[in-house]
Amino acid sequence: MSRPGSFRLAAAAFAVCCAFALVGAGNAAIAGAPSAPTPSPVPLATSTAPPPLFAPAVLVYPFEVSGELKADAGNAIAQIFDQQFVSAGGLTVLPTPNGIKRTDFLTNARALKADYYISGYLTPVGDGAALVMQVVSVQSGIMVYTKTSQIFTAQDASAQAFVARQVMFDRSGVTAVAADTTQASTPAPSASQGAQVSLGGIGSLFGIFHHNRAAQPGPHTVVAEADKPSRVAIVSPVGGTAGAAALAEATGLLRPTLDRYFQTAAAATGVDGGKNASAICGSNRNATVATGTLSQAHAGRFGGRTDSTFTLIVYTCFGATLYTGEPAKAGSIKGAIDAAVDAYAKDHPANS
């Protein structure tokens, strides 16, 4: 027979063993439990490229031609515009279409998702051609800009393309540096400048109609290209009290008249009394800026003539007045400009 104390001692030992067993089982359960997931690092934000700048889409239709111009002259002008747009940048240039009627220009431009389209007319005038350029907003269908200019070379046509480019930038809210059209010689468009264009057969633009004209010897001296002074005459639009059409004609005539004696270039903006001369010259500091004023008066009664008076003004690139000629008066704008330029070339044969 066991003693009561021994029984109590055995029961206590059993209880302790059970407790250790429970603790071990708990630890095992904790050890076997899955660990809490470790949060993965937040990925760093990656830099993204800024959205591309808006480049207005433009479509140039072949210009309509008349008179003695070759049939492909209008297409050549359109391609010159295309090439200048591609070369200067900032525009989405759509391929020039052929065979589209003028009445379908807007519908076709909308189908091609153009923002603007350009069309116009080309007519021979004197020793050059009158170029009428029209810029149309495709969204509104409204002509937003038109300009008539007299051109003598492919470079002159290119200068008008730069004007159209700036008009489209201004209307589209695109900030762009104005193209420099004041260099001594603007490269003629070539197939390597973007749009694939062949100007074969027209060379300088005015092989396109001079082939039908008998050569007329001019009454004024013409200096050979190799003998012209290095200083360039940059022609700025003519001002004065004459009507807008007469001023445009005078501007168109001034450059080819100066070109008899000097290397020339064209500026799209007025020189404003010499204030803009530096900007017009740009990086070409070996230049002058030539402009003038034109007035007209009706002489005689009953079908009398209109006399034109032209004063040639030449500025340095620093805005100083280099030359103000005596007013030259003649029965035509051309006659007045001829006389004024001849006088300048005689007094300033080096354009300085």
Whether the pLDDT of residue 210 is over 70: the answer is: no
pLDDT band at 149 (very low <50, low <70, confident <90, very high): confident
Cα pseudo-dihedral 204, 210, 215, 217, rounded to 10: -60
Instruction: Say what the pLDDT of residue 122 is.
Output: 86
Q: What value does the mean pLDDT take over residues 277-292? A: 91
- pTM, full prediction: 0.43
Q: What value does the mean pLDDT take over residues 279-306? A: 84
Average pLDDT, the chain: 77
pLDDT band at 18 (very low <50, low <70, confident <90, very high): low
Provide DSSP, 47-105.
Answer: P-PPPPPP--EEEEPPPEE-TT--TTHHHHHHHHHHHHHHHH-SSEEPPPPSS--GGGH
- Range in 73-87, 208-222, 241-255, 324-338 with the lowest mean pLDDT: 208-222
Whether the pLDDT of residue 316 is over 50: the answer is: yes
Which residue from 154, 143, 252, 257 is spatially nearest to 197, judged by alpha carbons?
154
Query: Of all residues in the chain, what percent carry a pLDDT higher than 70?
Result: 68
CA 109 to chain centre: 20
pLDDT band at 74 (very low <50, low <70, confident <90, very high): confident
**Pairwise pLDDT comparison (273 vs 302), residue with the higher score:** 273
pLDDT 10s digits, 31-47: 444 555 555 554 544 44
Angle between helices 73-88 and 154-172 (to 10 degrees): 50
Cβ-proximal residues to 34 (8 Å cutoff; 6+ apart), any chain: none
CB burial of residue 183 (10 Å; 0-12, 13-18, 19+)? middle
Whether the pLDDT of residue 199 is over 50: the answer is: no
Instruction: Say what the pLDDT of residue 46 is.
Output: 47
Whether the pLDDT of residue 342 is over 80: the answer is: yes
Q: Where in the chain is the domain with CATH 3.40.50.10070?
A: 57-193
- Rounded distance, CA 85 to CA 97, Å? 16
Tell me the residue length of the chain. 352
Instruction: Say what the pLDDT of residue 290 is.
Output: 96
- Range in 153-162, 214-223, 287-296 with the lowest mean pLDDT: 214-223
DSSP secondary structure letter of residue 216: -
Which CATH code fits 57-193? Answer: 3.40.50.10070
Q: What value does the mean pLDDT take over residues 330-339? A: 92
Pick the CATH number of 217-347 from 3.40.630, 3.10.450, 3.30.160, 3.40.50: 3.40.50
Cβ-proximal residues to 172 (8 Å cutoff; 6+ apart), any chain: 54, 56, 115
